[in-house]
Structures are given as C-alpha cells and as structure tokens.
Amino acid sequence: MLQVAFIRENKDAVIAALAKRNFDATQVIEDVLAFDESRRSIQAELDSTLSQSNKLSKEIGQLFKSGEREKANQLKEETGQLKERSKQLTEQLNEKAEGLTQLLYQIPNVPHESVPQGNTDEDNEEVFREGDVPQLGDKALPHWELAKKYDIIDFELGTKVTGAGFPVYKGKGARLQRALISYFLDKNTEAGYTEYQPPLMINEASGYGTGQLPDKEGQMYYVGADDLYLIPTSEVPITNLFRNEILSEDRFPICCTAYTPCFRREAGSYGAHVRGLNRLHQFDKVEIVRVEHPDESYKALDAMVDHVKNILRELKLPYRILRLCGGDLGFTSALTFDFEVFSTAQDRWLEISSVSNFEAYQANRLKLRYKDKNGKSKLAHTLNGSSLALPRVLAGILENYQTDEGIKVPEVLIPYAGFDTIS
C-alpha cells in the first residue's frame, strides 16, 4: 500500500497518477489525510499525557522519600486519571490506525510514468515481437482437439472428478508437463534464482501482505474450517517469506524461483475464449520473485523480461510483449509487461507471463525493509514474473508444432521429455 507521508507530500500528483488507472482517488485520499491528521493529533495528546504521567510518578517518589505523604497521595490521584486517559487515547489511536489501514487498502499502486493511458487490454502497448508464425493450413486443430486426438489431456475426466477447469494430463501429456516444469526451473536456477518449494496454502496475513486481500478475495479458494486460502500463484508464499524482515543491504538482490500448482476461482469467466487450457481453476506455474534495492529494481525488471525472452526463444514460439495500460494494470503493480504467445490454430494471442515491479507497495504491506549505509530503515522493492505459466505455453506448443505425422516436441525439451513426437 502507499505510504501516508508520500500521499501527504504528493497529494495532487497521486490523484493525477491514479486517474491513469481510471480510479478517482479524490475522496479516499481526502479521507486518508483526515484520518491521519486525527491519528497524529491523538498521538500527540497521548505522548503528552504519558510524559506528564511519568513526570508526576518521579515527583511522587521524591515526595514519599521526603515524608510529604499527603501531597504524594494527591498526585497519585492525578496519575490515576492520566493513566485512564492514556488508556482511552490508546484505544482511539488503535481504532484510527486500523481505519487508516483499511482506507489505504482501497488505493491501488501509483503507475510508473511509462504506463500508457488506456481503459482495457485493447489499449496495451506492444513493445516487442519475435518469432515466425507457422503456416499450418486449413487442417490445423486447436489444442483441445489435439489433446483428444492424441489422448494426452482429458478435460471430461477432470470434470467428472472435480469440475470444469481441472484437466487430467495423461501419458505424454503428463510427461511434457513435467518436462516444461524441469526446464523452466533449470533455466531459472542457472540464472541465479534459488529454488524454493513453498506451502500451497496461505493465512490471511500473507494474503494482505502481497495484496490478494482484500482486492481479490472472491477469486481465491477459501478453506473455512482452517481460515486458509489456496495460493493463486507462488509469488504469494515466496514474497511472504520476507514479511516483517529487516535486511542488510548486502543481501540484495534476493532471487527466488518456485514451481507450484495454482488455484483460481476465475468467477465470471465464460465463453469460447476459456476453452481447453485457455483458462483453468488449477494449473501449474513456475514463478520468479525478486527483492531489490529501490535503486536497482527497474534494472532487475529489464533483466527479468530478457530472461523470459530467452526461454521463449529456445522454445521457438512466436511471442510479443505488451506494456500494460493504466486500465489493465494489476492493483498492486507499478509497471507490468505481459508476454503473449501466438496460437496459430486459434488465430489469437494467449497471455503466458506477466512480469511486474511493485516498487515499495507490497513491501509497505509486508513491513519488508532494509538498513541503508547510514543505518536508516527503508522499504525494499519487490518484483515477480511467470517463468512460465504452463497451460498456455503447452497450448502454444501443441498448436504451433502440429504436423500431419503428429506433434513435434521443441528441441530444447526433448532431453527432459524423453521423446521427440506425440503421435
């Protein structure tokens, strides 16, 4: 979340920047500043009351020592009143602090200056494109038909066991999934990312820490009996490993990678664009997460973008990169680049990765700080990216690598899969 001091010092600039998201922040910003003013006033009175109480306590001790018991007892009555007032002020302060936090949760991150104006994904800015789209002819099939033809993914069986959006991978389909996971993890660890295997459930504090709560509460699966949430991405547990931490500067950069299943309710998602692997309730993803010094976070973002580029080059998939506009930017992100692979059989672009810099927004929620060279505590920057999400990468491979003889496996994956063709 945004820092109150930053809002107070840059009120008009914050409101103007958030307008790029089509978010009218005027009223909530006014409410934040009013709450903060009230909170600071209560804090000042509390500090004064405690100071007066402490002063009287010292005087009482001296009076008792000098035998002036009557005067000492009179002052004790005053300190009792001051302690009661301190208790009331503390309760008021806690209420104001909680109210202020809830208001701040309603405000999205301020977009980076390079974020383009726009309302929907149609206004996103294409910044890079690479790879040749294969010419497959009229007989080309979409991946859900190829999956059925070669018996590698069973969508109906998944519906029987659980429901729509929970596919069952079989035979070479399952092995290709495993090959992609291993390949992605190897590429990430070779690039200096430390591999983690985090929990698949998070508590409420973790959800608030990275911004899934309260913004995306309805999109997460909730286990009510234990008050836990199934993770929407490994970004959440990995980033929360550093919640309430104060780091030394020499620990930067912190680079993490993890493979996990991901769970998303995707409420309200219907239509042909969600067929097959296009949108699922459970899917596999390999993630990269970085904790960075603020001065280095945008260099780190560029490095993450280049890293995903290299993976897609090795897979030889046609792809493009979009800079998300204000209206399509995630709630917690300052700047996001989306990678999309071209699905030849569907004749459309499919999002396969988002690489984002959250600047200090998540760190402020997480209380993730570092000590600078002068010993001053400051907020770190956090970043994350898909490297990569499997379903649409697999869809792109199945569709773009299909031939009359079967589906070719990308050369880089053959050592991992143990076969070169699905037929």
Binding site residue list for ATP: 264-266, 351-354
Residues contributing to the annotated binding site = 233, 264-266, 287, 351-354, 384
DSSP string for 79-110:
HHHHHHHHHHHHHHHHHHHHHHHHHHHTSPPP
The Cα 332–Cα 335 span in angstroms is 9
Please provide the size of the chain in residues.
423
Write b or e for each residue in 88-125: b if 16 or more Cβ atoms lie within 10 A of its Cβ, otherwise e. ebeebbeebeeebeebbbebbbbbbeebbebeeeeebe
Asked if 258 contacts 195 with a C-beta cutoff of 8 angstroms, the reply is yes
Six token digits for residue 396: 């792109």
Six token digits for residue 232: 């929407």
Beta strands in 45-190 (DSSP E): 125-130, 153-154, 168-169
Residues contributing to the annotated binding site for L-serine = 233, 264, 287, 384
Q: Which residues pair with 321 in a beta bridge?
A: 128, 339
Nearest to 395 by CA among 322, 315, 310: 315
Q: Which residue has the tokens 């018996």?
A: 151
The Cα 381–Cα 196 span in angstroms is 20
Asked if 204 contacts 227 with a C-beta cutoff of 8 angstroms, the reply is yes
Q: Is 243 exposed, middle or buried (0-12, 13-18, 19+ CB in 10 A)?
A: middle
